[in-house]
Structure 1
Amino acid sequence: MADHKKVRSRRSRLVRAAVLSLAGLLVVGAGAAGYVYWKLDGNIKSVDINAQLGSARPPASTDGSFNVLVLGSDSRAGGNASLAGGDTGDTARSDTAMVVHVNQAHTHADVVSIPRDTLVPRPDCVAPDGKAVPGARSAMFNAAFEVGGPACAVKTTEALTGLRMDHFVEIDFSGFAGFIDAIGGVTVTTTVNIDDKDSGLNLQAGTHHLNGGQSLAFVRTRHGVGDGSDLGRIELQKQMVKSIMAQVGGAGLVANPAKLFSVADRLTRSITTDSDLASVSSLMGLAGTLKGIGPNDLTMVTLPVGTAPADPNRVVQLQPQAAQLWAALKADQQVPQSIVSAQPANPADSAAGAASAKAG
């Protein structure tokens, strides 16, 4: 059976790193602190999701719970080209998608990864340039970001889940790799050899300390280990979250203001958020909201899916499990244990794979 330990959300940890940067630098004086605030504030890019989507959306929660859509973009623009490989022209898809649900008391969060190959109904959207994007009865989930930008990705996610996405955060390849380098790399362990010509990752079984480029290859790997599916790749991403937590926790950032600023600067230059989050003060407020959520207060799962009847290379939501998952989050309840216990195995962990096969 796959490892189902609960871990702190990557988003919470990264935002907290930016907040700690500010706190540490305040000791050097008001003038410097003012510069730091201005510099980090000016780094953040934003999208006015609310203006683009209007009022035809699931209602916002009134009990204090909220949802965040976190996307990893596979854009090849700018510094991403040398890291990403391949060619998507001038477009980008959502290489990674996570729905983060924070409960009413702000004491627990559930993170649901949506496989990018999931076929979903895509609603009509309006692209960033104002052009209408017609909907589709069945389209790959990650294509919504490509054809209609962040607002279309949010609208598609809301149609899929029935949940309002209160916030949106996007990070691209170079941003992720740069953040990993800023914290000093991460350590991962694999019990099998990984050789993926597509991502460029080549690791022998054992423990390795990865730099930013290698870490990016690790979270993008799917063909060099396991059955080559996106589900296995998502499990590697969950493992990377744990590695990032361990590295940030042991990096001594609080005692090193210069390094704190470097991490926060890299992070804020790498993200795009909804307009409500596009300031250091807003991010600090969110971090304060999340401060009560610890490693044992977060559950990470993958949306239950099955092979699409019309295409063996695609997946669709598995029912009734998927409906039960979204209903639980809508009711501000934790992910059902039946879904947690049925998660895929980590392809880099042969022991987990054997346990999963035995359980099945």
Structure 2
Amino acid sequence: MTGDDEGRRVGRRPRALKAVGLILAGALVTGCAAAGWAYWHLNSNIKSVDINSALGDDRPARATPTPTASQDAPLPTEAVNILVLGSDSRSGKENEALGGGSSTGARSDTAMVVHIDAGRTTATVVSIPRDTLVTRPSCPLESGRSTAVSYGSMFNSAYAVGGPVCAVKTVESITDVRMDHYIEIDFSGFAKLVNALGGVTVTTDEDIDDDDSHLHLKAGTHHLDGQRALALARTRHGIGDGSDLGRIGLQQKLVKALLEQISSTSLLTSPAKLYSVADAVTGSLTTDTGLDSLTELTSLGESLKGLSSDDVKTVTMPVVTAPSNPNRVVAKEPAASELWESLR
């Protein structure tokens, strides 16, 4: 199940995207960072992980850089791959409340590989089902030790055992695609972003009744606040067959709807609203060290100005039911390998 068709219906009018999904922070912060204190505050909000140092050179090759047009236009134009994760961490009272109670550890509730083509004018967002069984590679830990290789493990366990570093290494091991950057946002950050934007409008094709996510919606168009948008992103038992694939379809719709909301909101004419959105985003982000400053996020956002919502395609990694467990999936071959090859 993919959200590609839905996305193309939603985004008929070409609208400049300041980022893909949650990467909007870069372009948003420019206007409100003029004041020294605002810049310092927003810049210090961002948490980062040095993934490149942790993983070393045993990784897929980087995409061949494409030279920029001129010295006067130094914005990057080469293809780039970004792993975007939504964390189900219950850390802090806000995340605990939104997540429905306390829980130890965290897993990647949502995983999307954002591939932006050379020239930065088209993009493909590939969702990886969290229930996919994979071979989880050995991952380095902060303690200096490493995790053991694990066969037939759920994809989202990589984050649980080794954090962002292991999440990136696992994605690279199953795709053979280099992740140039990493972006993670937690429950409270996503809800705050939606609220700062004034909510988000989403159309559902069927009734949703999910007691686990506390979401009950009739089929149709709804304007959701942050808490209900988060519930929509997390719901799975109240739609379709209750699998993760139905949830991914909703998440892809939500990404498209957020892009539409961002492009239709007059952020640059409202400094207070702009700052509110930027503060919500940067305060909830964890990135790799290549994106852990306003300057770097702004450069990325500016390089995507030519990207319209019609140019963003959403797909799901092809999967089939796992032979060992009817409640899990495995990559469908050769379709999955062909998808990753197309990105390489």
Percent pairwise identity: 53
> Contact 1:169/1:271 (CA < 8 Å) preserved in 2?
yes
- 1:304 maps to what in 2? 318
- 1:347 maps to what in 2? none
Q: Matched residue of 1:214: which SS? A: helix
CA RMSD of aligned residues (A): 1.9
Q: Which amino acid aligns with 2:342?
A: A
Summarize the alignment of residues 1-360 of structure 1 with structure 2, pairs less than 5 Å apart: 4=5, 5-6=7-8, 11-12=19-20, 14-16=22-24, 18-23=26-31, 26=34, 33-63=35-65, 64-78=78-92, 79-89=94-104, 91-330=105-344
> Contact 1:172/1:271 (CA < 8 Å) preserved in 2?
yes
Deviation at 1:137, TM superposition (A): 1.9
What is the alpha-carbon distance in structure 2 between the residues aligned to residue 17 and residue 147 of structure 1?
28
> Contact 1:9/1:111 (CA < 8 Å) preserved in 2?
no
Q: TM-score, normalised by structure 2?
A: 0.89
Deviations 1:89-127 (A, max 9, x none): 1x1000000011111222211110000000111110122
Q: Which amino acid aligns with 2:187?
A: F
Deviations 1:246-305 (A, max 9, x none): 322222212101110110011000110001110000001111222221112121100000
Q: Which amino acid aligns with 1:167?
A: H
- 1:340 maps to what in 2? none
What is the alpha-carbon distance in structure 2 between the residues aligned to residue 20 and residue 172 of structure 1?
19
- How many equivalent pairs are there? 323
> Contact 2:18/2:302 (CA < 8 Å) preserved in 1?
no
What is the alpha-carbon distance in structure 2 between the residues aligned to residue 13 and residue 144 of structure 1?
22
What is the alpha-carbon distance in structure 1 between the residues aligned to residue 266 and residue 246 of structure 2?
32
Q: TM-score, normalised by structure 1?
A: 0.85
Q: Which amino acid aligns with 1:12?
A: V
Structure 2 runs not aligned, ≥5 long = 66-77
Change (3 A) 1:52 1:127: same
Deviation at 1:71, TM superposition (A): 0.4
What is the alpha-carbon distance in structure 2 between the residues aligned to residue 86 and residue 38 of structure 1?
33
> Contact 1:120/1:139 (CA < 8 Å) preserved in 2?
yes
- 1:29 maps to what in 2? none
> Contact 1:10/1:241 (CA < 8 Å) preserved in 2?
no
Q: Which amino acid aligns with 1:267?
A: V
Give the number of the structure whose residues are more often helix, by fraction.
1
Deviation at 1:191, TM superposition (A): 3.8
Q: Matched residue of 2:144: which SS? A: coil
What is the alpha-carbon distance in structure 2 between the residues aligned to residue 260 and residue 175 of structure 1?
15
Structure 1 runs not aligned, ≥5 long = 27-32, 331-360
What is the alpha-carbon distance in structure 1 between the residues aligned to residue 162 and residue 131 of structure 2?
17
Deviation at 1:182, TM superposition (A): 0.7
